Amino acid sequence: MTTENPLRQGAGTPGGSTSARLLEGPGKLYAPGMALYYFGWCMAILTPVMLTLPLKVQALVGSEHAAGAFGLVTAIGAVVAMICTPLGGRLSDRTTSRFGMRRPWIIVGAIGGMLSLLLIAVATSLWMVIVGWILTEIFFNTAWSAANATVADQVPPGQRGLVSGLIGIGLPLALLTGSVVVNAFDGYTYRFGVPALILVIFATFFALTLRDRRLDQRPARLSLKEFALTFVFNPRKHPDFGWLWIGRFAIMFSYSGIQVYLVYLLGSRLGLKGGELTGTIVLANLGSAIAMIASSFLIGALSDRFHRRKVFAAAGSLIMALALAMIAFAPSASMVIVASTILGFGGGGFFAVDFALATELLPQSSDTGKDLGVWAVTNALPQSVAPAIAPGIIALGTSAISGYSLLYLVGAVVAVLGAVFIYRIKGAS
């Protein structure tokens, strides 16, 4: 039996009037499958960003040049991600494969990303790392755009908060599992390869159980103008989506753009290294994971129950700002662990509803993959901006406040601004 997707009735794709069909509804395995996929995706890409990539770069260039070299690698990769994320969404919106619109991109992206990470593992120079990271960003972000679009494709608006919360628990679990893997293995092949292999397994499960949509006919070719519009939206026509975009950018700048420097903060300010350093990160991620899982389920369910999104997103952002300020002045590893737990609770509250909020504010129902790709640029762009300005902020450190403490304080201020931007949204409660 074939049923028309209720979210797509009457919708057309750019450049042609095609419609897509969803086969037999999403199915009971959709939500757990998507949650497992997101867990694997986060583990495969965030374990390198937070742990193995800075350690690999430091091993190649030395501790004195590690921060600058790491910033170069992640900044280049983030630029690539900013292009591939909306482009991948646009391509999946227009895919006419007999295997579905989203499924081929999910599978190919996972396998290609795993091979790219293994290239980084065996790299003997910084340039090999850069090439490997560029390929990683291409494959993983293209796949994530396609997977992202399945939520808007298949989940009714009234259930997206709960589904978003279920998906959101993958982030803390991924960070925790990834840090355990890094602590358990010494070789970079295992440290990069095991998380990537887990993604391939879960991506395969998700793709095989996904009742993917299919286009009825091949869409018309994109004009040059339509192709250029893949990477942008008009904030004047869609101000709520604009406020969401800039708000999420600010929050992701604070959460992922700044938090990647935790390894260097612990080493520089607290003098941690070796097993003591990785052990502290494991405990910090454990506290963060437990708190984020609790708040993801709680806030996701409450947002559906009370039909309110932005108040929970803004509150989560303010809690994150408090935690970042605590890390900035933490006198011990124990305080960093406590602050990371608070950061996880705030992050869980925000991530539980921000994706649901995004699906409700999409500019164009026929461009779900593309528009969510533009929204997902806020994952990558902060990772480009933060490394570009972080060395300058760190250099402003004094004897009264260290450079890394100042960096985390800047992150706290930006998180507060993110909460303000989110609250400016008028088209959602």
Residue 12 lies in a domain: no
20 occurs within a structural domain:
no
Q: In one letter, which amino acid is 152?
A: A
Is pLDDT above 90 for 62? no
Cα–Cα distance for residue pair 237/243, rounded to 1 Å: 12
Average pLDDT, integer, range 176-197: 88
User: How confident is the model at residue 383, as a pLDDT?
Assistant: 67
Residue 18 is assigned to a structural domain of this protein: no
Task: Give 6's pLDDT tier (boundaries 50, 70, 90).
Answer: very low
Residue 196 is predicted with a pLDDT of 95
Tokens of 147: 């997977």
- Average pLDDT, integer, range 274-301: 84
**Taking 90 as the threshold, does the pLDDT of residue 320 lie above it?**
yes
Give 90-123 pLDDT, tens digit per residue.
Answer: 788 777 777 888 889 999 999 999 999 999 999 9
- DSSP string computed for 252-293: HIIIIITGGGHHHHHHHHS---HHHHHHHHHHHHHHHHHHHH
CA distance 286 to 336: 12
Least confident of 271-275, 327-331, 408-412: 271-275
Q: What are phi and psi of 258, to 5 degrees?
A: -90, -40
* Per-residue confidence (pLDDT) for residue 12, from 0 to 100: 39
- Alpha-carbon gap, residue 255 to 46, rounded angstroms: 12
323 pLDDT above the threshold of 90: yes
pTM of the predicted model as reported, rounded to 2 decimal places: 0.72
Report the pLDDT value the prediction gives residue 17, as an integer from 0 to 100: 40
Q: Pull the structure tokens for residue 162.
A: 């709960």
Alpha-carbon distance of 168 to 300, in angstroms, equals 9
Nearest CA to 171 out of 320, 258, 260, 292 is that of: 292
Task: Please say if the pLDDT value at position 22 is more than 70.
Answer: no
pLDDT digits (tens, 9 = 90+) for 259-274: 778 888 888 888 887 7
**Window from 41-45, 200-204, 374-378 with minimum mean pLDDT:** 374-378
Distance CA 383, CA 55 (A): 17
> Does residue 220 belong to any structural domain of this protein?
yes
When pLDDT is averaged across residues 130-145 and rounded to a whole number, the result is 93
Q: What is the mean pLDDT of residues 299-320?
A: 85
Whether residue 107 lies inside any domain: the answer is: yes
* Residue 14's pLDDT band (cuts 50, 70, 90): very low
- Indicate the average pLDDT of the chain: 82
**Counted domains in the chain:** 1
Burial of 44 (0-12, 13-18, 19+ CB in 10 A): buried
Q: Which residue has the tokens 């963060």?
A: 288
Residue that the structure tokens 């101000």 belong to: 239
Range of the domain at 113: 27-423
pLDDT bin (cut points 50, 70, 90) of residue 172 is confident
Percentage of the chain exceeding pLDDT 90: 29
Return the pLDDT at 11. Answer: 37
Task: Of 205, 233, 218, 209, give the one whose Cα is nearest residue 367.
Answer: 233
* Secondary structure class of 226 (helix, strand, coil): helix
What integer pLDDT is reported at residue 4 of this predicted model? 34
Residue 15 resides in a domain: no
Which one, of 329, 326, 337, lies nearest residue 401 by Cα? 329
Closest CA to 193 of 383, 47, 37: 47
Query: CB 319: neighbour CB atoms within 10 A?
Result: 23
β-bridge partners, 147: none
Here the CATH number for the domain that contains residue 141 is 1.20.1250.20
Q: Is 232 left (phi over 0), alpha (psi -120 to 50) or beta?
A: beta
For residue 3, the model assigns a pLDDT of 35
| Higher pLDDT pick, 281 / 221 | 281
What is the average per-residue pLDDT within 19-34? 69
pLDDT at 293 over 70: yes
Specify if 1 maps to a domain.
no
Query: What are the pLDDT digits (tens) for 139-158?
Result: 999 998 888 888 877 777 66
> Residue 310: what residue type?
K
Q: Does some domain include residue 3? A: no
Q: What is the pLDDT of residues 342-393, one digit of tens each?
A: 999 998 888 878 877 887 787 766 666 667 777 777 877 776 677 778 888 9
The reported pLDDT for the residue numbered 335 is 94
The pLDDT score that the predictor gives to residue 16 is: 41
pLDDT at 416: 96
DSSP letters for 28-44: TTHHHHHHHHHHHHHHH
**Closest among 416, 394, 388, 395 to 407, alpha carbons compared:** 394
